[in-house]
Amino acid sequence: MQRRFEDKVAMVTGAASGIGRASALRLAEEGARIFACDIDAGALDDLASEAKGRDLQVDTHVLDVSDGEACASAVAQAVSSCGRLDVLCNIAGISHLDLFENYSHELWQRMIGINLSSVFFLSQAAMPHLVETKGNIVNMASTAGLQGQAHNAVYCAAKFGVVGLTKSNAQEYARRGVRVNAVCPGGVLTPLLRETKMPEGADPELFGRMMPLLPLARAHEIATAVAYLASDDARYVTGHTLTLDGGQTL
C-alpha cells in the first residue's frame, strides 16, 4: 500500500464506525497519525485496540460534534497531542427518514447539529492550522446533497449545506494553500444505513428513484475516495463533490 501520509496528522470524526472508521484506518495504513473522534467511547476503544494490534498510530477523543466549543477544544487537543494538523475529515453523521410533516423541531436541531453545524465548527477551528501546513479538508456529503429525496428532507437540507460550505471554503482558501472537497456517497452498507427505516406512510415508488444501478458500496470503498482527496495525488482538486453512487444520480 502507498504511504501518502507519512509524517502527517489527520483528524477524523465519526471514526468509531462505518465510513469514518474505514477512513481512519485507511489513512493510518498509509502512514498518518490519526486523531479519531466519536461520541461512542466504547467503539473508539475498539478502534484503538485494532489500531494497536496493527501497529497503526491512532489517538482517540470522545466528542459531541454538535457542540461548537467541544469541537474547538478537540482541534486544539489534536494539534497539542500530535504537533500539527494536515487533514480534517468531517465524517460524523446521523440519518432519519420520515414524512416531512412528522419531523420534530428537536430532531431538526439534532440532525442539523451533527450533519452540518459540526462541519462549520470543526472547519473554522482547524483552518488556521491547515493554512500553516497547506493541508486540506474532506467533508462527507451525500447524494442527498445533490438532489432532493422524498422523506429525507432534513438530511437533504444538511447535506446540501455541506456541499455549499465545501465550495465556499474551497474558493476562499485556495490562494492560502488549503483544498476543500466533499465525497457524495449513495447507498453504503454501514450501521447508519442498516438502522435507517422506511417511515409508515412512505411512498415506495419515490424510494425507487434513489436506487443505484450497481450493488451497494462498502465503507472501505468510500474510504479509498477520502484518502485520494486528502492526498497530494489530488493536488489540483478543490471545491469538488466526488460522487460514488453506483449510477443513482444519472
Cβ atoms within 10 Å, residue 222? 26
Whether the CB-CB separation of 241 and 163 falls below 8 Å is answered with yes
The three cell numbers locating residue 16 = 468509531
Query: CA 32 to CA 54: how far, in whole Å?
Result: 13
Q: Nearest 5 degrees, angle CA 229-CA 148-CA 141?
A: 20
Q: Which helix H or strand E contains 165, and what residues bound it?
A: helix 153-173
Whether the CB-CB separation of 153 and 195 falls below 8 Å is answered with no
Residues annotated as catalytic are 155
Whether the CB-CB separation of 184 and 143 falls below 8 Å is answered with yes
Residue carrying C-alpha cell 485520494? 228
Angle in degrees, 0-180, between the axes of helices 18-29 and 219-230, rounded to the nearest 10: 50
Whether the CB-CB separation of 112 and 120 falls below 8 Å is answered with no
46: Cβ–Cβ under 8 A, 6 or more apart, which residues?
16
Query: CA 195 to CA 186: how far, in whole Å?
Result: 16
